[in-house]
């Protein structure tokens, strides 16, 4: 038997073509396997409208897929949503900026509670009005009950001042733990 004929395509032909033409990554292809031909066609059109690296494009496609399943919507319905349609129809921004804006909006739609939690956390941090050399942030996606305090100093006096500022606001900092638990 001819070895060449034994070799079968792993993916559906349109996905194979997109991979060969380097329109999508292997990771994106795996997600597309779960979509209908019509949904994949919508994704291919989207790929032509935005420019993102392979990991970010995979994230966009994954978010579209997850939103479609959660909300029982077609990919085209999601792409017609006001904020998304507005981004994709903008002519005064480049494909890369469109891609980044799309990515952010899809993240907001997919994770509304997490994004609200982030918004409240950072509002509280901003209300504390720390000096520019003190930064406070939660663990990525609030996955642990930790917060991170970063102090940037160039001498011991700046360090003492930063530590004093943190000590003065320690009770308010304690309230931030309510967001991460």
Both structure tokens of 74: 């077609």
Q: Which residues of 55-92 are buried (b: 16+ CB within 10 A; e: fewer)?
A: ebbbbbbbbbbebbeeeeeebeebbeeeebeebbeeee
**Beta-ladder partners of 151:** 134
Distance, in Å, from the CA atom of 7 to the CA atom of 21, rounded to the nearest integer, reads 19
**pLDDT bracket for residue 156 (50, 70, 90):** very high
- Write down the mean pLDDT value for the chain: 90
**Beta-ladder partners of 135:** 150
pLDDT digits (tens, 9 = 90+) for 71-88: 999 999 999 999 999 999
Across the range 18-24, mean pLDDT stands at 88
Q: Domain ranges for the chain, please list them.
A: 9-110, 113-180
**pLDDT bracket for residue 10 (50, 70, 90):** low
Residue 167, pLDDT > 90, answer: yes
Distance, in Å, from the CA atom of 60 to the CA atom of 96, rounded to the nearest integer, reads 13
Residue 6, pLDDT > 60, answer: no
């Amino acid at each position: 038997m001819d070895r060449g004929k034994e070799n079968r395509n792993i993916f559906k032909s349109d996905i194979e073509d997109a991979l060969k033409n380097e329109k999508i990554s292997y990771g994106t292809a795996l997600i597309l396997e779960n979509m209908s031909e019509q949904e994949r066609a919508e994704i291919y059109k989207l790929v032509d409208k935005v420019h993102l690296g392979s990991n970010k494009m995979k994230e966009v496609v994954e978010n579209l897929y997850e939103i479609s399943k959660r909300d029982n919507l077609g990919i085209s319905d999601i792409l017609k949503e006001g904020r998304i349609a507005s981004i994709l129809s903008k002519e005064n921004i480049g494909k890369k900026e469109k891609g980044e804006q799309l990515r952010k909006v899809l993240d907001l739609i997919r994770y509304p509670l997490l994004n609200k939690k982030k918004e409240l956390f950072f509002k509280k941090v901003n209300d504390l009005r720390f000096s520019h050399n003190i930064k406070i942030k939660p663990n990525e996606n609030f996955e642990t009950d930790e917060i991170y305090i970063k102090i940037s100093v160039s001498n011991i006096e700046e360090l003492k001042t930063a530590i004093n500022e943190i000590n003065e606001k320690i009770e308010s900092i304690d309230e931030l733990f309510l967001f991460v638990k």
